[in-house]
């Protein structure tokens, strides 16, 4: 697959943007969106949509709920757009941040919606159970370059989990190693080092038990050739082989989310517009900090979708 010049990629958010009520107005306005939430409920054998639309925030924040919930909200938005035209009419590639990669795979037809929901439920639960609560930690380091922070992690024993954008990098590992990393980052001139309110240390080697569970789950799922290239988190380049997709999804559990490099790769191959599909504006907000010349927009409310389609 090759990219055309000055085209659009659809990007899908990861964990952290969840909020009670997300996707509700879209589901109320469009039957196509409502049916996505119903299909996810059926696939999981539980009323996840009730938690999303009117539940308690702490229940939605449970990783096993958050992951399928964010995906469902993204795909519901996409299905509304696809009533007018298929995804290939809007964009030339897809990418997603961490769990958002599953949304991207679903959007591109590589995974069915039901399988995506079930995989994310398993992934969320496996990641939660991989490390006892209180053993691991994550921290956002603001204002330090990647190379400097890479040296710090090697010295302190934590790992880079998310390379989000210039000056915004997340570290992960045992609580002690992350605390050492935060202290060293401050000494090296970081503007801020903020411990994140997460229940597990994602995207580091402590997640190996979860990676093994995902390898088992993914072995039993059919992955089709995607209709569009996926820009993978682990490689920050395009992938379109079902077997390679399967392999990278397992690696992604313990591996670094190379988001900054992914956006730079898209820019390099001629993509200048990023459209964030789903709730929140986290990825859109990062775009200009990665590539100043790239444009980004977020579709999360009925009026956003209608304006975009016009």
pLDDT tens readout for residues 99-133 = 999 999 999 999 999 999 999 999 999 999 999 98
Say if residue 61 is in the same domain as residue 104. Answer: yes
Q: Using DSSP, state whether 191 is helix, strand or coil.
A: coil
Q: How confident is the model at residue 60 (pLDDT cuts 50, 70, 90)?
A: very high
Say if residue 244 is in the same domain as residue 112. Answer: yes
Say if residue 275 is in the same domain as residue 146. Answer: no
Cα separation, 285 vs 111, in Å, equals 28
Which residue is listed with tokens 């389609």? 309
**Confidence (pLDDT) at 6:** 54
pLDDT in tens, 222-269: 999 999 999 999 999 999 999 999 999 999 999 999 999 999 999 999
Which range of residues forms the domain containing residue 162? 136-195
Say if residue 155 is in the same domain as residue 222. Answer: no
Say if residue 211 is in the same domain as residue 295. Answer: yes
CATH of the domain at 150: 3.30.70.250
Say if residue 173 is in the same domain as residue 291. Answer: no
Output the six-digit token pair for 166: 């210039």
Say if residue 44 is in the same domain as residue 191. Answer: no
Which residue is listed with tokens 């309110």? 197
Give percent of the chain with pLDDT exceeding 90.
Answer: 92
Cα separation, 175 vs 16, in Å, equals 20
Say if residue 142 is in the same domain as residue 124. Answer: no
Say if residue 182 is in the same domain as residue 288. Answer: no
Say if residue 110 is in the same domain as residue 215. Answer: yes
Which residue is listed with tokens 């996840």? 48
Say if residue 116 is in the same domain as residue 59. Answer: yes
Q: Judge whether 200 lies within some domain.
A: no
CATH of the domain at 84: 3.40.366.10
Output the six-digit token pair for 42: 């059926």
Residue 2 has pLDDT above 80, yes or no: no
Say if residue 125 is in the same domain as residue 231. Answer: yes
Residue 294 has pLDDT above 60, yes or no: yes
Which active-site residues does the annotation give?
98, 203
Q: Please state the rounded mean pLDDT for residues 50-78.
A: 95
Q: Please state the rounded mean pLDDT for residues 203-222.
A: 97
Give the number of domains in the chain. Answer: 2
The enclosing H or E element of 299 equals: strand 295-299
**Confidence (pLDDT) at 1:** 41
pTM of the model: 0.95
């Amino acid at each position: 697959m090759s990219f055309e010049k000055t085209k659009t990629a659809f990007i899908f958010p990861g964990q952290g943007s969840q909020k009670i009520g997300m996707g509700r107005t879209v589901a109320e306005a469009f039957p196509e969106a409502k049916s996505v939430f119903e299909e996810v409920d059926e696939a999981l054998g539980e009323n996840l949509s009730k938690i999303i639309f009117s539940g308690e925030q702490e229940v939605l924040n449970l990783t096993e709920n958050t992951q399928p919930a964010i995906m469902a909200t993204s795909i519901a938005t996409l299905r509304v757009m696809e009533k007018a035209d298929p995804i290939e009419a809007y964009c030339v590639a897809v990418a997603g941040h961490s769990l958002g990669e599953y949304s991207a795979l679903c959007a591109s037809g590589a995974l069915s919606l039901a399988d995506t929901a079930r995989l994310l439920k398993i992934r969320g639960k496996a990641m939660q159970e991989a490390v006892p609560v209180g053993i691991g930690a994550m921290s956002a380091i603001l204002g330090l370059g990647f190379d400097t922070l890479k040296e710090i992690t090697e010295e302190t024993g934590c790992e880079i989990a998310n390379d989000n954008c210039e000056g915004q990098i997340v570290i992960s590992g045992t609580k002690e190693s992350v605390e050492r990393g935060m202290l060293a980052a401050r000494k090296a001139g970081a503007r801020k080092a903020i411990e994140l309110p997460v229940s597990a240390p994602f995207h580091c080697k402590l997640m190996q038990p979860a990676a093994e569970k995902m390898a088992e789950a993914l072995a039993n799922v059919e992955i089709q050739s995607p209709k569009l290239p996926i820009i993978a988190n682990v490689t920050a380049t395009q992938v379109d082989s079902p077997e390679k997709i399967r392999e990278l999804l397992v690696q992604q559990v313990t591996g670094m989310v190379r988001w900054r490099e992914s956006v730079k790769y898209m820019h390099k191959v001629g993509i200048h517009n990023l459209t964030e599909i789903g709730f929140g504006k986290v990825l859109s907000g990062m775009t200009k900090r990665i590539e100043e010349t790239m444009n980004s927009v977020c579709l999360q409310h009925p009026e956003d979708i209608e304006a975009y389609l016009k």
